Amino acid sequence: MPGIRYDQRVLVLVEVRGEQRDWDEAERLFGQQGWPVVTAFARGEGPSRGVLRGAASARLCSVEVRFFGARNRRTERAAAWRVERLARAAGLEMYARRCELVDRDREQLTGWRAHTVAHRPPRVPHPRPLTSVARLRRAAVVSRARFWERSGRHDTGMVVTGRASEARRLSRMDLPGGSAPAAAIDVRPVYGRERSHIVQRREEDGRRRVYRVVAWLLVMTFCAVVARQQSGVRVWVWAGAATLCFVGGARLAYGIFAAGGRVASLLMFGAVAGYFLVVSIGADVGDDRGWTPVQMLSIFAIAATAGGIWLLVRQWTWGEWLAWAAPLVFTAVVSFVVASGSVLHALYADSLGLTPDDLDVPGIWQAASAAKLLSLLGYALFVPALWGIAKHVHAPLVSPVERLGVPLYVLTQVTVLLVCMWGALDSARGAVDDFRTAAVRKTAPPSYFGVEPEWTCVEPTVPAARLGSRGGVLKPERPYLSFGEAGGTVSLWNEPAGTALQMPAEQVRLVPVADGRVRCTFSYERVPKDD
Of 464, 474, 450, 434, the C-alpha closest to 525 is 464
Q: Which residues of 363-383 are buried (b: 16+ CB within 10 A; e: fewer)?
A: eebbebbbebbeebbeebbbb
What is the rounded distance in angstroms from the CA atom of residue 249 to the CA atom of residue 229?
Answer: 23
149 occurs within a structural domain:
yes
Q: Which residues of 254-288 are buried (b: 16+ CB within 10 A; e: fewer)?
A: bbbbbbbbbeebbeebeebbeebbeebeeeeeeee
What is the rounded distance in angstroms from the CA atom of residue 514 to the CA atom of residue 504?
Answer: 24
Instruction: Say yes or no: 184 and 210 in one domain.
Output: no
User: 54-94 pLDDT, tens per residue?
Assistant: 898 999 999 999 999 988 889 999 999 999 999 999 999 99
Residues contacting 71, CB < 8 A, separation 6+: 7, 8, 101, 204, 208
Fill in the amino acid letter for 222.
F
Which pLDDT score, from 0 to 100, does residue 76 have? 94
Return the percentage of the chain with pLDDT > 90, whole number.
19
Mean pLDDT throughout 258-268? 70
- Out of 189, 212, 237, a domain closes at 189
Distances from the Cα of 187 to the Cαs of 113, 152, 199, in angstroms?
5, 11, 21
Instruction: Say yes or no: 183 and 217 in one domain.
Output: no
pLDDT higher than threshold 90 for residue 117: no
94 strand-pairing partners = 16
Instruction: Say yes or no: 317 and 403 in one domain.
Output: yes
- Out of 140, 157, 189, a domain closes at 189
Mean pLDDT throughout 468-485? 83
Would you say 508 and 460 are in contact if contact means Cβ atoms under 8 Å apart? Answer: yes
pLDDT higher than threshold 70 for residue 386: yes
67 occurs within a structural domain:
yes
Which pLDDT score, from 0 to 100, does residue 16 have? 96
Which pLDDT score, from 0 to 100, does residue 1 have? 45
Would you say 358 and 502 are in contact if contact means Cβ atoms under 8 Å apart? Answer: yes
- Per-chain mean pLDDT for the chain: 81
Instruction: Say yes or no: 93 and 116 in one domain.
Output: no
H or E stretch covering 366: helix 363-377
Confidence of residue 445 (pLDDT cuts 50, 70, 90): confident
Structural domain boundaries, residue 412 = 312-427
301 occurs within a structural domain:
no
Confidence of residue 192 (pLDDT cuts 50, 70, 90): low
Would you say 449 and 364 are in contact if contact means Cβ atoms under 8 Å apart? Answer: no
**Cα 180 off chain centre by:** 51
pLDDT higher than threshold 60 for residue 194: no
40 occurs within a structural domain:
yes
Of 177, 173, 166, the C-alpha closest to 112 is 166
Would you say 225 and 290 are in contact if contact means Cβ atoms under 8 Å apart? Answer: yes
Q: Which residues of 88-111 are buried (b: 16+ CB within 10 A; e: fewer)?
A: eeeebebebbebeeeeeeeebebb
Which pLDDT score, from 0 to 100, does residue 255 have? 67
- Is pLDDT larger for residue 403 or for residue 111? 111
User: 398-439 pLDDT, tens per residue?
Assistant: 887 777 777 887 888 788 878 877 877 888 888 888 888 888
User: 203-248 pLDDT, tens per residue?
Assistant: 788 788 888 899 999 999 999 988 888 888 988 999 999 999 999 8
Mean pLDDT throughout 481-489? 84
pLDDT higher than threshold 50 for residue 2: no
- Out of 154, 189, 224, a domain closes at 189
Is 353 in a helix, a strand, or coil?
coil
Strands 58-67 and 93-101: unpaired
Instruction: Say yes or no: 316 and 277 in one domain.
Output: no
Mean pLDDT throughout 248-269? 75
Which pLDDT score, from 0 to 100, does residue 305 have? 87
pTM (two decimals): 0.69
493 occurs within a structural domain:
yes
Helix, strand, coil distribution of the chain in percent, nearest 5 = 50, 20, 30
Instruction: Say yes or no: 401 and 502 in one domain.
Output: no
Mean pLDDT throughout 307-324? 72
443 occurs within a structural domain:
no
When divided into structural domains, the chain yields a total of 5
Confidence of residue 14 (pLDDT cuts 50, 70, 90): very high
pLDDT higher than threshold 70 for residue 29: yes
Mean pLDDT throughout 270-297? 72
Transcribe 242-305 into DSSP letters. HHHHHHHHHHHHTTTSGGG-HHHHHHHHHHHHHHHHHHHHHSEETTEES--HHHHHHHHHHHHH
- Is pLDDT larger for residue 62 or for residue 484? 62
Instruction: Say yes or no: 316 and 415 in one domain.
Output: yes
Distances from the Cα of 37 to the Cαs of 43, 62, 253, 294, in angstroms?
16, 6, 40, 52
Instruction: Say yes or no: 119 and 66 in one domain.
Output: no
- 130-139, long-range: CB within 8 Å, 24+ apart, which pairs? none
- 130-136, long-range: CB within 8 Å, 24+ apart, which pairs? none
pLDDT higher than threshold 90 for residue 467: no
What is the rounded distance in angstroms from the CA atom of residue 445 to the CA atom of residue 450?
Answer: 13
- Is pLDDT larger for residue 20 or for residue 119? 20
Instruction: Say yes or no: 267 and 232 in one domain.
Output: yes
297 occurs within a structural domain:
no
369 occurs within a structural domain:
yes
Burial class from Cβ neighbours inside 10 Å (0-12, 13-18, 19+) for residue 164 reads: middle
Strands 284-285 and 454-460: unpaired
Instruction: Say yes or no: 334 and 368 in one domain.
Output: yes
Confidence of residue 40 (pLDDT cuts 50, 70, 90): very high
Instruction: Say yes or no: 324 and 398 in one domain.
Output: yes
Which pLDDT score, from 0 to 100, does residue 286 have? 47
Tally Cβ neighbours within 10 Å of residue 208.
17
Instruction: Say yes or no: 117 and 138 in one domain.
Output: yes
Which pLDDT score, from 0 to 100, does residue 368 have? 78
User: 493-524 pLDDT, tens per residue?
Assistant: 888 888 888 888 888 888 888 888 888 876 66
CATH number at residue 66: 3.30.70.260
